[in-house]
Chains A and B, each alone.
Chain A
């Protein structure tokens, strides 16, 4: 609270207004809550309050078998369920020393990259909607719908896939689906350009995002900001390249980073444009994978009563919201001893308190959207 302004010698008594933004608010993408203290339009602080979507997925992990836990991981981040699947299965495979079927690895990458495009489409679309442009949102969802159709063809589910299993994938990808995905890529790549014409280079949109809530690299390290948000700070860091897993080392792709092209490095605009460019890179990866898809079984032989030896592992996967870490401890029994899911949104949320001071209420919306925080992933 600043000092009361003086007017003709007499001091007015003024106080900040405390607004509870959420858990039901149109732009908090699920059930987030911020306790916002504002002086008119300018916020003095925005304290995030999480936990409204806590489903104790970590505790459930201790009660179900290794195979049985895979569908639960879907729910940890239902916008990018493929990545939580993959992270958990990789952890289990590392513990159990299982070699993944090669075709299965490619199927995983295809499914994951399709899922990444879908997740970024949601992110970019809702970003536009939060800034007030509803048209790009629906254009993005239209394309996402096609991807959901592919997912349905691949694994029978549109949102919570349960596709990646320990040792490979649940179902092989059919050649017809591959052909359709290729067709979709031909159709989708020019559409990214359309989003740019419609939204990315729109003057109002740029003005709203440039120079807003820039994250410095030091802050990114201190708060462990990961994924596209970290890359927007100018650090060329992608787990797919830097701590390689699956078949990513065999694939060629660029890592888009923020350059501060419209304002400061690491501002909301950089975080937005990095996601747009990542979709293009995902398309490249998909094309290569479809070409390289080898013959063979899609899943390795894994015991039905999977009992990895005692031990612990921490795996990282490059999910759409960044470094998805699974810390899995096994005590040699049928059930995981401890499953810990570390997500990018959780740490990004903790940063909001710091960088939101002095922003306007409308900027907070842009900030939340640009960090792409996702309630299920925060609360798990």
Chain B
């Protein structure tokens, strides 16, 4: 099914909660309100003609200029062979969105990763811990304004400039 039609159907069902369809880009996408994302995804999964069986990817995108964080959902349907990209805009200072775990279980780990690297809080997540970084790491590295802590557990994270070291 064409992305345009997917969007049209979704809009008919959730009018006002979805917006900003971009159809003439490489991967067509539209925006979903943060409160509605779980319902929309459940609809996209369960509707027999849309039938998005799997969540290919769930990741974040930091846009500091517009002061927002995006959570990007890549949905794919094996049976219908179509793809759609959903985007949820969140404020940068307090990003909250509901968890997708109830729709696709793979979201558990993908959301943990987004929490780990972007600091997005997924409400209702069963096990929201850091996954790639240590538990006591400070900051969210994939945010554009991230500054690495200088020391971690007494180990310096800075590398001495090689040339200066040689000159000394």
Please report A residues at the B interface, Cβ cutoff 8 Å: 50-51, 54, 56, 58-59, 62, 94-95, 221-224, 235, 237, 242-243, 311-314, 316, 323, 325, 327, 329, 338, 340, 342, 346-347, 349-350, 354, 379-380
| Chain B residues closer than 8 Å to A329, beta-carbon distance | 61
Minimum C-beta distance from A338 to chain B (A): 6
11 contacts between A and B (CB under 8 A): A50-B132, A51-B130, A58-B142, A221-B54, A221-B78, A224-B55, A224-B104, A314-B85, A327-B57, A349-B109, A354-B105
| Complex contact B56–A59 (CB within 8 A) | no
A40 to B56, CA, bound (A): 38
A216 to B131, CA, bound (A): 26
Minimum C-beta distance from A4 to chain B (A): 28
A54/B133 contact (C-beta < 8 A), A314-B74, A346-B109 known: yes
Q: Which residue of A lies closest to B112 (CB)?
A: A350
| Complex contact B59–A327 (CB within 8 A) | yes
User: Interface residues of B toward A: which range?
Assistant: 20 to 34
A350 to B131, CA, bound (A): 11
| Complex contact B27–A314 (CB within 8 A) | yes
| Chain A residues closer than 8 Å to B85, beta-carbon distance | 314
Residues of B85-117 at the interface with A, using a CB-CB cut-off of 8 Å, are: 85, 104-106, 108-110, 113, 117
Tell which of B57, B78, B105, B132 touches A314, judged by Cβ atoms closer than 8 Å: B57
A327/B72 contact (C-beta < 8 A), A94-B26, A222-B104, A338-B61 known: yes
| Complex contact B104–A311 (CB within 8 A) | no
| Complex contact B53–A50 (CB within 8 A) | no
A372 to B32, CA, bound (A): 36
Tell which of A62, A221, A379, A380 touches B53, judged by Cβ atoms closer than 8 Å: A221
| Complex contact A313–B26 (CB within 8 A) | yes
| Complex contact B74–A379 (CB within 8 A) | no
A58 to B108, CA, bound (A): 20
| Complex contact B26–A312 (CB within 8 A) | yes
| Complex contact B57–A325 (CB within 8 A) | yes
A224/B81 contact (C-beta < 8 A), A50-B132, A323-B56, A340-B59 known: no
| Complex contact A237–B59 (CB within 8 A) | no
Q: Which residue of B lies closest to A94 (CB)?
A: B26
| Complex contact B106–A311 (CB within 8 A) | no
| Complex contact B141–A56 (CB within 8 A) | yes
If A224-B55, A312-B27 are given as contacts, then 14 extra A-B residue pairs at C-beta distance below 8 Å, sorted by A number, are A59-B142, A221-B53, A222-B106, A224-B54, A224-B104, A224-B106, A242-B81, A313-B27, A316-B56, A327-B57, A327-B74, A340-B57, A347-B110, A354-B105
A311 to B26, CA, bound (A): 8
| Complex contact B56–A223 (CB within 8 A) | no
B25 beta carbon closer than 8 Å to chain A: yes
Q: Which of A62, A314, A350, A380 counts the most chain B CB atoms within 10 A?
A: A314
A54/B132 contact (C-beta < 8 A), A95-B26, A325-B57 known: yes
| Complex contact A51–B26 (CB within 8 A) | no
| Complex contact A223–B106 (CB within 8 A) | yes
Minimum C-beta distance from B141 to chain A (A): 6
| Complex contact A51–B131 (CB within 8 A) | yes
A346 to B53, CA, bound (A): 18
Minimum C-beta distance from B131 to chain A (A): 6
A58 to B113, CA, bound (A): 12
Tell which of A312, A346, A350, A354 touches B25, judged by Cβ atoms closer than 8 Å: A312
| Complex contact B104–A350 (CB within 8 A) | no
| Complex contact A347–B109 (CB within 8 A) | yes
Q: Which residue of B lies closest to A337 (CB)?
A: B61
Name the 6 nearest CB pairs between A and B, nearest first: A350-B109, A224-B106, A51-B132, A221-B53, A222-B105, A54-B132
| Complex contact A59–B141 (CB within 8 A) | yes
| Chain A residues closer than 8 Å to B55, beta-carbon distance | 224
Minimum C-beta distance from A87 to chain B (A): 13
Contact flags B115-151 to A (C-beta < 8 A → 1, else 0): 0010000000000001111100000011010000000
| Chain A residues closer than 8 Å to B113, beta-carbon distance | 346
| Chain B residues closer than 8 Å to A242, beta-carbon distance | 81
